[in-house]
Amino acid sequence: MTTHDDPDTLDRVLARAAAGGDADAAAVLFRRHADAVHACCYRLVGDRDAAEDLTQDVFLRVLRDIGQFRGESRFRTWLLRAARNRVVDWGREHARRRAREERMALEGEAEAATPRDQAGTLARRDLVARALDRLRPESREVLVLARFHDLPHAELAVALGCTAAAARVRLHRAMHELREQVIALEGGTP
């Protein structure tokens, strides 16, 4: 028997139904992608409350404009593009605040439940997280989309609104910047 384990196909079907006013389809799309959108927003703004508000904004806008989704990219990529754009707008209105406190609290919770032999790994992760915080927004967003949402160059291009070649250059540059920030933090440079 042939099976159809293709989440992207289901997303396209659901998106068509939601575009036709099907509230159940819209609700399923939200359930399927809420965590990804929220995680993306959180990693870009570093603020838990703001990430929740942004997640709501993203879904309200996406479902309002869902008729514009033509299925030329994965629905999730289209959604992440909307999230990224909303965060850019948000960034114009708000400084990046409370990022470090939020992250430290979160990692503190994880650390409390982690065996001592993983302390080195956690320290390394904290260092990289701090380096990520110090990047320019343009570099942070490309790393978040590529690393946490597994977008290859072609889909990064859709999410960032640029060409695949440009997305590749941005990603490589961002990795070099991240590496420099890590080295700076290891060396005690403020």
Q: If we measure between CA atoms, which residue out of 103, 157, 109, 153 comes closest to residue 131?
A: 103
Strand blocks (E) in 59-164: none
| Beta carbons of 132 and 143 less than 8 angstroms apart | yes
Site for another protein in 48-67 (CB under 8 A): 48, 51-52, 55-56, 59-60, 63-64
Residue 172 binds to another protein (criterion: CB under 8 A): yes
103 to 162, contacts with another protein by CB under 8 A? 103, 106-107, 110, 121, 124-125, 127-129, 132, 143, 146-148, 150, 152-153
Decide if residue 171 touches another protein (CB under 8 A): yes
83 near another protein, rule: CB under 8 A: no
CB of 49 to another protein, least distance (A): 9
45 lies in the binding site for another protein (CB under 8 A)? no
- Is position 180 an interface residue for another protein (rule: CB under 8 A)? no
Closest distance of CB 97 from another protein, Å: 16
Residue 7 engages another protein in binding (rule: CB under 8 A) = yes
Cα–Cα distance list, 113 to 29, 48, 122 (Å): 33, 21, 12
Binding residue (CB under 8 A) for another protein from 70, 95, 113, 117? 70
> Do the beta carbons of residue 153 and residue 167 sit within 8 Å?
yes
**Number of residues in the chain:** 190
